Structure 1
């Protein structure tokens, strides 16, 4: 664990948010609960507004609180993992805890994670013992992906149950900032970095308001990005399928030659030719598609576009927030 520069360590709560205006007040109450449950540390809230259109940022800036608040407002929606990266790059804490804006992480998670951090661990994963208000199908799909991804990518530290929240020591945050990937799974990168890692389990609380912003499209994109980022398995599978197809072709040709030599009638006509053409064409298109996914990601990396664009980066002091809060009915 990095030695904090002050006698009382500073803990940054990094929260990515997209259209979470209804959850701002419950979130601040939750942060206040973390503050009261952990008097041996100081807290700051770093909320990254990932292109919200419902006034999430302005509501946060007006909130009267006893702890520092930093708002990082992105110019548009760049995705939750880009938002997490923006928050980690701008937080000031000796460690950072990434939590959601929906209030589903209990106070015990942060307290238990800080206890493990005090014990010398540099990465503390939050693992859900049970999930609140999530369909059985989604739970099975998410769990299956986590298990397969762990094996495919060879990331032994990545929780097979699927991580939800994580504490990072300052040394890990610094190392993570040196990784330039644009199509990123931040949690997988943390697992890849190594360091001393452990886990704490907790029961997920019901979402306070609204619905999860994790759409099926976003989950599929994250799954594809994660696999392509950490594994060459798709390319190897293409090679394997190509070899198997070639062997089948050679075997079928040998069978036809043998039947001809033996004087046995061989099948002829367009049906056989059509099957072969469709099979080979399908395999070729699949291989080209997989290669195209890798090539597109290479193009995105060499463009060197920023991972995100910051529209506003504001640290509002308590007096300013108190006056705004009074005007806006806090």
Structure 2
């Protein structure tokens, strides 16, 4: 693929860099410094949109300082809604024709952004960054991540998340518009983006150690995210349970027939076995009912406490014709 190296014909393109933050005060100043150095090299216009996901450390105070620059602004959520919701807020409020997601913990190097942008300008709709090495992660994190991706590949059909592809990605205009048209409340962004299709490329990179603070993704958090993804994108567990039920039903009939022929039917063992299978089925169905309930209630994915910084009053958002459905009320502070 031939990548453009001249800036003359692409200077009108507009990129939004969305950074979701939760208790990242230790790394925000250094991350922002490196990010701006990388963005200054781009042949396109850009903005930086921080999403403060209810941080309880000094992240908000630091963001207020960073957002004094004209190209930097912040969405301050009313509480911690989780990364998936924070990313949805970035999608709703970004002004660029394309979005680039990057974490503030410095595990995803900002210096790779120019390469991602070149692939976008060369015609790629989605540019995924794929971890080649995870030297910055602990052994437990590497194992849990491996199991997480393997589980998704088994259960989430052909739309499974590619191995070791994180949220560090660039999404072009066509898939971005498609994402904005998807009404899900139970968000699983990795699956949603992969489901879209479009021209996609994976670029390998080495994942670095955190620049400070602690990871918010422990083994239990990954398990919870995997369950959310499976429920949102796969009916395989229900189908497998249906087949298992049919198999158990058939074996039960054979067992009853055999025991009746010998006159030694043990109803107690039969009831225990059937009860265990029914309990599993009820738990499985409950997960899907819970996901359905979230969609039916149609609560906002997030709420904004305030927005500040940048040129919020002067610039006009390209997506203004399709106002975000997830934010109830917005208060602008300069």
Q: Provide TM-score, normalisation by structure 1.
A: 0.85
User: Of 88, 92, 95, which residue of structure 1 is paired with 2:95?
Assistant: 92
Q: How far did 1:73 drift?
A: 0.6
1:143 matches 2:146: yes
The aligned runs of 1:60-79 (5 Å cut-off) are 60-63=63-66, 68-79=71-82
**Kept after mapping to 2: 8 A contact 1:18/1:52:** yes
SS of equivalent residue, structure 2 residue 305: strand
Find the aligned partners of 2:184 and 2:116 in 1 and give their Cα distance: 27
1:26 matches 2:30: yes
User: Of 7, 32, 45, which residue of structure 1 is paired with 2:11?
Assistant: 7
Which residue matches 2:5? none
Find the aligned partners of 1:295 and 1:30 in 2 and give their Cα distance: 45
Find the aligned partners of 1:221 and 1:62 in 2 and give their Cα distance: 35
How many residue pairs get aligned? The number is 304
Structure number with higher helix proportion: 1
**Kept after mapping to 2: 8 A contact 1:30/1:103:** no
RMSD in angstroms over aligned alpha carbons?
2.2
Q: Summarize deviations over 1:141-188 as a string: whole Å, max 9, x none.
A: 322322331342224573123434110012222210111111111121
Q: Provide TM-score, normalisation by structure 2.
A: 0.84
Which residue matches 2:203? 200
Q: How far did 1:121 drift?
A: 0.6
Q: How far did 1:109 drift?
A: 2.5
5+ residue gaps in structure 1? 261-265, 319-330
Find the aligned partners of 2:141 and 2:269 in 1 and give their Cα distance: 37
Question: Structure 1 residues 215 and 141, CA, compared in 2 at 3 Å: closer, same or farther?
Answer: closer
User: Of 305, 311, 315, which residue of structure 2 is paired with 1:311?
Assistant: 305
Q: How far did 1:50 drift?
A: 0.5
1:51 matches 2:75: no
5+ residue gaps in structure 2? 1-8, 313-334
**Kept after mapping to 1: 8 A contact 2:70/2:310:** no
Question: Structure 1 residues 148 and 216, CA, compared in 2 at 3 Å: closer, same or farther?
Answer: closer
SS of equivalent residue, structure 1 residue 22: coil
